Amino acid sequence: MTAPSLHPFDEAIGLRPAGEHVYEGATTSHYWNMIGPFGGITAATLLNAALSHPARLGDPIALTVNFAGPIAEGPFAIEARPTRTNRSTQHWNLTLTQNGEIATTASAVFAVRRETWGCGEAVFPDVPPADAVPPLPAGFAPVRWLGAYDMRPVRGAKPSAEPGTEHPDSITQFWLRDHPARTPDYAAVASWCDSFYPRIFLKRAGFVPAGTVSMTTYFHADAATLAALGDQHVLGSARAQVFRQGFFDQSAQMWSAAGELIASSHQIVYYKQ
């Protein structure tokens, strides 16, 4: 009997133990960006190291990734070390090295979730359903990783103003799922939160050299909630709040089709203008 093929996402974040607290992996072409791997897949791979660790407690509630340097094509190593474990929370330091140099650092917080009173104040955007929105056309942008997702843009898919002018806002919204479809988990959500192009591309109506420096993702759903999403699309929404002195922020939300906020993120992005 032929073994089922591994989903490209699982192949990309795949790790093998290589010593105490150390895992080895390698980049894949499926999630390649212009000059290195898509930042979301790097975040997902770092998180996967903690998720795979035998000392893991609970599930992730926060992940901060600092992109310290470029990642080249080929193998890399991740050290995933729990720095403190409490009764219900666990803190992690994560470091990705390649060719003897640190390329990315991260920290994560895991927790044991429990049933409590809950309330949501964030408001689900007023958008058409995913099946009413056409997907992005093939070749929309010259980066390989976009083909790893089924994206259906509602607004802000690409700059619509004339180059050299400013778009009135930096909001992008799209329906998203993995391609081929895959039941999501925490690693997938970590990747989704970085699936928006830099907000300055939209605000300035054109390409500007830019790159994420640091990104923090907060997970608001438990594992059962993510599993229940199955192959449904989720809604992503992102915007910036300020562009100033070579850096801008980028806030994002990921919603289930039922209107439940499953993750939010915030990143600081370098730009040259």
Does residue 1 register a pLDDT over 60? no
- Tell me the pLDDT tens digit for each residue of 147-178: 999 999 999 987 766 766 788 899 999 999 99
Confidence at residue 92, expressed as pLDDT on a 0 to 100 scale: 98
Does residue 256 register a pLDDT over 60? yes
Cα angle: 220, vertex 252, 42; to 5 degrees: 85
- Tell me the pLDDT tens digit for each residue of 183-193: 999 999 999 99
DSSP 147: G
Residue 265 to residues 27, 81, 90, 190: CA-CA distances in angstroms? 24, 23, 20, 9
Please give the average per-residue pLDDT across 246-268, as a whole number: 98
Q: For the chain, give the percent of residues with pLDDT over 90.
A: 88
Say what the pTM is: 0.95
Query: Looking at 99-241, which runs of residues are DSSP E strands?
Result: 101-111, 149-155, 172-178, 210-219, 234-239
- Tell me the pLDDT tens digit for each residue of 87-135: 999 999 999 999 999 999 999 999 999 999 999 999 999 999 999 999 9
Tell me the pLDDT band of 2, cut-offs 50, 70 and 90: low
Confidence at residue 13, expressed as pLDDT on a 0 to 100 scale: 98
Does residue 71 register a pLDDT over 90? yes
Please give the average per-residue pLDDT across 244-254, as a whole number: 97
CA 7, 11, 12, 13 torsion-angle sign: positive
d(CA 120, CA 98): 41
Q: For the chain, give the percent of residues with pLDDT over 70.
A: 96
Does residue 3 register a pLDDT over 70? no
Task: Please give the distance of CA 96 from its chain centroid, rounded to a whole number.
Answer: 17
Average pLDDT across the chain, whole number: 94
Confidence at residue 125, expressed as pLDDT on a 0 to 100 scale: 96
d(CA 268, CA 266): 7
